[in-house]
Amino acid sequence: MRTIHASLQEAEDTIGKVDARVILCDVLGVDRAFLVANPFHLLTETQDARVDMMVTQRQMGHPVAYLVGRREFYGRDFAVDANVLIPRPDTETLVEAALARLPNDECRVLDLGTGSGAIAVTLACERAQAKVVAVDASAGALGVARANAERHGAGRIEFLEGSWYSPVAGQRFDAIVANPPYVAAGDAHLGEGDLRFEPASALTDGSADGLGSIRAIIDGARDHLVDNGWLLIEHGYDQASAVASLLEAAGFNERESVKDLAAIPRVAIG
């Protein structure tokens, strides 16, 4: 049997410090401080075998978030599995921009392509008066999103299955938010890292410029926003000017672009 110290050292050599710690914490059901404070704590045989299995899977490329079944987003823990895109810190930029614009009193918010529900649940938690509707075309994703809503006391979110605006025909919102698929078809990025294991439909819609879904969302916004409502869309690192042109063509008279933590333009606001 191995100690925490030995187990960590071995795992670190193959998958690096950060992932090794995440896996050990998950298997032992402890936090990082426990690992540091108890280097000579012995793992049980079952825990030992489980760590080995997860380290092997990580070595094979499986995202650590799928292995442990969760990822932190905007200070909350979200359940994730292979039905949903793993929430990225970049998307916290979109959440911040939306929160800066949402009123504190009653308002209606639509999240298109909710996936794990990270955006919808965060907005519902941060704005208790907001009525949030979350749409996804994937029943599997909606199952994960519903579980996340329950877990964070955001059970009032209305989840609807369907493509973009189809489940909310005739409804209008104060804000529409979306992190749609935007990776261009054939982008080499799709064959790298975590993206190889994430749902393809969350990453790319098959359009050559990656803008197919963003176009559909901007086109439909006119019929689904109230006057002076906000549209906030996450986009790819090289799509800011294309998305700004689409917003202008659709008649959004006020437009803004927000950069992510890496200083890359990431969110278009109209």
Per CB under 6 A, 258 contacts ligand GLN: no
Segment near ligand GLN (CB under 6 A); pick from 44-52, 73-81, 140-148, 177-185: 177-185
Considering only residues 63, 87, 167, 181, which one is a binding residue for ligand GLN as defined by CB under 6 A?
Answer: 181
* Best CA proximity match to 235, nearest among 255, 215, 249, 254: 215
Quote the DSSP letter at residue 163: S
Segment near ligand GLN (CB under 6 A); pick from 3-11, 96-104, 150-158, 174-182: 174-182
Per CB under 6 A, 183 contacts ligand GLN: yes
Calpha distance 66→85 (Å, rounded): 10
Per CB under 6 A, 215 contacts ligand GLN: no
Calpha distance 108→132 (Å, rounded): 6
Quote the DSSP letter at residue 6: H
CB closer to ligand GLN, 63 vs 181? 181
Per CB under 6 A, 87 contacts ligand GLN: no
What residue spans of 60-108 are helical by DSSP H? 64-68, 90-101
Per CB under 6 A, 164 contacts ligand GLN: no
3-state secondary structure of 88: coil
Where along the sequence are the contacts to ligand GLN (CB under 6 A)? Answer: 88, 90, 179, 181-183, 189, 195, 203
